[in-house]
Copies of this chain bind each other. A is one copy, B any other.
Amino acid sequence: MNGAQALLHTLQTSGVDICFANPGTSEMHLVQAIGQSDGMRAVLCLFEGVVSGAADGYARMADKPAATLLHLGSGFSNSMANQHNARRAGVPMVNIVGDHATYHLQYDAPLTSDLLGHVHLSSAWTGVAQSADHLSQLGAEAVSMSYANGGQITTVIAPADCSWDPAGEPAKAMAAPPAEPVEEALLEQAVQLLGNRKRTGLLLGGKALRSEALELLGRIAAATGATLLCETFPARLQRGVGRVPVQRIPYFAEQALTFLQSYEQLILVDSKAPVAFFAYPGKASWLASESCQMMTLSKHGQALLPALNALADRLQAPAEPAQRQTPMSLPLKQGPLSVDAIGRSLAALLPDQAIVSDEGNTSGLGIYAHCMGAAAHDWLTLTGGAIGQGLPLALGASLACPERKVLALQADGSAMYTTQALWSMVREQTDITVVLLNNSSYAILNVELARVGAGTPNDKTLSMLDLSNPVIDWTSIARGMGMQADRANTCEEFHSLLQEAMAQRGPRLIEAMIPTPRA
């Protein structure tokens, strides 16, 4: 047994059974060890941003880490944008990054760079293997530590010689660090605030947006009159018919300021204080009113359900939540396709337990609203704002939940960053429908250009936000990667294609031609 084989053995006994891989020469022994393993599913991705985005999507749905396999500093750097999103999502992830053999680093060969410098940027915990035995020991620690703080990124640097040198017994799996309880004093403080008759928002994020927590929070709301608010970009929100609904804070700062203005108190539950996504000249970055009192009840990774149970008990909450979502969908539209029409179709057709990977950006906001009363589903959003998340995330979510339909709601500009995910969706025969929202524009930037007050744009400025010259033909691109793809120009065409896609299994893409926004 060599170091690579020992590491693989340890990862598997630690419960890691899928690896998203984009390997190079320094990882060949790791590739061979994966090939020899029975229990480790190997998913080849054709770009590292797909690797990390898929590992994020997997973790959001499986609540356990996937492994990634990456190649040196440059491979790692390609994965970093989606690692940033995963870091913001607070999910577990275990990166295995190959490095040059320990004795080879001194020669500064062409691919050499400051690997550790790269890794520290995204990883909460890092281990650098010193030997073949050390490599599998680090694997055990990395899996354990990936569960710390509610889920975080850990990285093992695997020099090639540590993979190919002989190893002894593989390291044993290590227990995950236990979740810390919510402090008694905070529970008591929350009881006080919830009883003082001020206008109170329970601002929810992270694991507070799962159905079980939402049930408890809905009962607490019923007992106290507090409103359930949701962070703007949740990692995973369980919603739809039968679920306890939440009000999501708007993306645009002006709207968020208005939305939050009347709250005298905000109780943060696995969430951060609301701040503007970007700064704008003369506008506030802090979104709550200045006089709003804020407390953090529970941080990501703390034992949330016991705390919410205790809180519900102390408040003598009723058995039923204040609200429960009922079915709701608006009549279908006809004629030229629009975001509104797409939202209506989705609300009507989304199957029970669907997973939506939403990187619809400007277009996604309206569709999200439409789907409020769709069948129960999970909604995953762009947690860190680094675009190119949506397709990889859908891939990983589908592999975590192969029996559930995944719908990737994908803006065209963002799709271009990690198009390679389509290929892996086909290879793995995932049950994913991509709705590619083609408006031939970085629409969000046209909006932002006006909001930052940079003056009236001329044609040259606008050309830098425009994707229409040449027009991108997403149907061709998807077919080029082996995916069934069709284009919808009208509401009727879209609805019919979506109906077909929801009724069948397998990967496919619907290119939804929607109007180009004008600044």
Contact = CB atoms under 8 A, between A and B. Distances in A.
A243 interface: no
A404 to B, nearest CB: 23
Task: Name which of A279, A416, A457, A483 has the most chain B CB atoms within 10 A of its CB.
Answer: A279
A44 interface: yes
Contacts of A31: 445, 449, 454, 461, 464-465
A28 B28 CA distance: 44
B80 A74 contact: yes
Nearest to A26: B278
A426 B118 CA distance: 34
A470 B478 CA distance: 11
Given A78-B417, A117-B117, A461 B277 contact: no
A88 interface: yes
A105 B478 CA distance: 39
A464 B78 contact: no
Contacts of A75: 81, 386
A191 interface: no
A275 B106 CA distance: 10
A441 to B, nearest CB: 12
B477 A445 contact: no
A370 B140 CA distance: 51
Interface string A372-395: 000000000001111010000000
A349 to B, nearest CB: 27
B35 A275 contact: no
Nearest to A111: B385
Task: Name which of A81, A272, A383 has the most chain B CB atoms within 10 A of its CB.
Answer: A81
Given A35-B460, A469-B427, A117 B114 contact: no
A472 B482 contact: yes
Interface string A100-113: 11011001111101
Interface stretch (A7-15, A17-25, A322-330): A17-25
A426 B470 contact: yes
Interface string A153-164: 000000011001
Q: How large is the interface on A (under 10, 10 to 19, 20 to 34, 35 or more residues)?
A: 35 or more
Nearest to A476: B480
A157 to B, nearest CB: 15
Given A34-B464, A482-B470, A452 B25 contact: yes
Interface in A61-84: 73-75, 77-78, 80-81, 84
Contacts of A236: none
Contacts of A120: 117
Contacts of A42: 460, 463-464
A464 B24 CA distance: 10
A480 B469 contact: no
Interface in A116-151: 117-118, 120-121
A119 to B, nearest CB: 11
Nearest to A272: B108
A279 B164 CA distance: 11
B452 A164 contact: yes
A437 to B, nearest CB: 16
Contact of A107 (B81, B275, B449): B275
B77 A164 contact: no
Contacts of A104: 276, 278-279, 285
Interface string A400-426: 000000000000010011011001001
B285 A103 contact: yes
Given A160-B279, A449-B32, A455-B32, A473 B480 contact: yes
12 contacts: A28-B452, A36-B460, A46-B413, A47-B416, A78-B81, A80-B118, A104-B276, A104-B285, A111-B278, A160-B452, A474-B480, A480-B480
